[in-house]
Amino acid sequence: MTNQEKIALLEETLEIDEGTLTEDTLLEDVDEYDSMAKLSLIVMMDDEFAVKLTGDMIKGFQTVGDILAVMEKA
Amino acid sequence: MNTLIDLTGKHILVIGASSGIGKQTAITLSSAGAKLTLVARTEANLIATLHELEGKGHAYCAADISELSGIEETVKQIIHKNGSLDGMVYAAGISMSMPLQMFKPEKLQSLFDVNFFAFVESVRQITKKGRYNPGMRIVGISSIASLKGDKTHLGYSASKAAMDAAVRCIAKEVAGKDICINTVAPGMTATGMLSRFTDNIGSNSESMKELKSRQYLGVIQPEAVAKTIAFLLSPAAEYITGITLPVDGGMTTC
Ligand SMILES: NC(=O)c1ccc[n+]([C@@H]2O[C@H](COP(=O)([O-])OP(=O)(O)OC[C@H]3O[C@@H](n4cnc5c(N)ncnc54)[C@H](OP(=O)(O)O)[C@@H]3O)[C@@H](O)[C@H]2O)c1
C-alpha cells in the first residue's frame, strides 16, 4: 500500500475530508482525532493490518506519519 | 449447607465456565450441592475451574459455542456422560466496542454468534424431550447494557437486548414443559472482560467516571452475580420466569 493510499484510508477511518492530511500533519491539530476516532483507528489497524494498537502506542503518535509507520501487515 | 438454596444432585450445565462470572457461578453452585458440566473453549482453564469445585461427579467439555452446528453434538455428549439436565447457565459472552462506522456486518455477526445465536441454540437443544428433568431452570447472563444506550456499544447492547426479548417469548413456550427461563443483567462486574473494557476506553476517561457514578453501590463482585443465579436456579424462585433481573449496583435507577 502506498503512503497516499494509507492516508486515504486514515481519512476515511477518521471521517475527515479527502486531501486534508499529510505525513507532517500534527494530530493535535486534527479536531476529528478524538476518543471515538482512536477506537475506529484500533479497529481499522486490526482489520486491515492485523496490528493490535495499545494505549501506549496511541499516546506516542504525534503526527500522521507516526501512524503511517505502523500501517504495515504484522 | 444453605437450605434456602439447595441444589443437591442437580445436574447443571455452565457454558462459559472457564473464567469470570461463569467460573464463579460454577463454584457457587457446587457449594450448593450441584453436579456440574463446564463448557468453554480453553481446556486448561476449565480444568482449573474443575479443581475449585466442591463435591464429586463434575465434568467438562471443551467446545467453541460459536460453531452453532456443533452445539447439538456437545449437548448429546454431555447428557450421555452425566445425565439429563436440571439447569443451564449461559455465561459465555464477548464484548465489542466500536463506533457505528466500524461495525461491519461480519463484526455484528461474530458478536451475535456467541452472545445470542449460540444462547438460543443451546436452549433449543436442551429443551428437547429426554434431555431435561421436570423443573429445569435456565439462566442467561445478559447485561445492564441491554437497557441502557452508550456510544460504541450498539452491537453488545443489541445482542443482550435480543437475549432478554427471546427469554420473554421462550418462557411462555416452555412453561408447559415445567421449565423456567430468565436472564440476569449485571452492571460492571470485576472480571477480565471489565479490565479489557476499561483498558479500551481508559480507566480515567469521562465515560468510565460516568459509568462508575451511575453504579453507585460500586463495582460488583462475581460472587454477587453467582448467588443471584443460584437463587434463580433454586426452588425458591419457582414462580419467576421470563424476566430480566438487574444486578447492577443501582445503575437502572439513574
Ligand atoms: N464483567 C462485566 O462487567 C459484565 C457486565 C454485564 C454482563 N456481563 C456478561 O457476563 C458474561 C460473562 O462475562 P465475564 O465478565 O465473566 O467475562 P469473561 O471472564 O471474559 O468470560 C467469558 C466466558 O465466555 C467464554 N466464551 C467466550 N467465547 C466463547 C466461545 N466461542 N465458546 C465457548 N465459550 C466462550 C469464555 O471462555 P473461553 O475464552 O475459554 O472460551 C469465558 O468462560 C458475558 O455474557 C458478559 O457479557 C459481564
**pLDDT confidence of residue A21:** 96
Contact status, residue B218 vs residue B53, Cβ threshold 8 Å: no
For residue B229, tell me if it sits in a domain. yes
The predicted model gives B187-198 an average pLDDT of 91
Question: For residue B101, which residues of chain A lie inside 8 Å, CB to CB?
Answer: 15, 40
pLDDT one-digit tens code per residue, B123-132: 999 999 999 9
For residue B211, tell me if it sits in a domain. no
Q: State if residue B192 touches ligand 1 by the CB under 6 angstroms criterion.
A: yes
Place of cell 450498539: B154
Instruction: Inspect the interface and report whether the beta carbons of A36 and B151 lie closer than 8 Å.
Output: yes
The architecture of the domain spanning A3-73 is Orthogonal Bundle (1.10)
Exposed / middle / buried, residue B5 (Cβ in 10 Å: 0-12, 13-18, 19+): buried
Among the listed residues B180, B194, B192, B185, the one whose alpha carbon sits nearest the alpha carbon of residue B238: B180
Domain membership of residue B87 as a residue range: 11-187+222-246
CA A32 to CA A68: how far, in whole Å?
17
Contact status, residue B71 vs residue B121, Cβ threshold 8 Å: yes
Tell me what percent of the residues of chain A surpass a pLDDT of 70: 99
**pLDDT confidence of residue B29:** 98
For residue B143, tell me if it sits in a domain. yes
**pLDDT confidence of residue B125:** 98
3-class SS string, chain A = CCHHHHHHHHHHHCCCCCCCCCCCCEHHHCCCCCHHHHHHHHHHHHHHHCCCCCHHHHHHCCEHHHHHHHCCCC
pTM confidence score: 0.94
**pLDDT confidence of residue B187:** 96
> Nine-digit cell at B15?
457454558
Place of cell 417469548: B169
For residue B216, tell me if it sits in a domain. no
For residue B215, tell me if it sits in a domain. no
pLDDT one-digit tens code per residue, B124-175: 999 999 999 999 999 999 999 999 988 899 999 999 999 999 999 999 999 9
CATH number of the domain at B114, please. 3.40.50.720
Asked whether residue B199 carries a pLDDT value surpassing 80, the answer given is no
Structurally, chain B folds into a number of domains equal to 1
Domain ranges of chain A: 3-73
**pLDDT confidence of residue B165:** 98
Residues of chain A contacting B, Cβ within 8 Å: 13, 15, 35-36, 39-40, 42-44, 55
E-only strand ranges, chain B: 11-15, 35-40, 59-62, 85-90, 132-141, 180-186, 244-247
What ipTM does the predicted assembly reach? Answer: 0.84
Model confidence at B200, pLDDT cuts 50, 70, 90, reads: confident
AA letter at B170: I
Model confidence at B101, pLDDT cuts 50, 70, 90, reads: very high
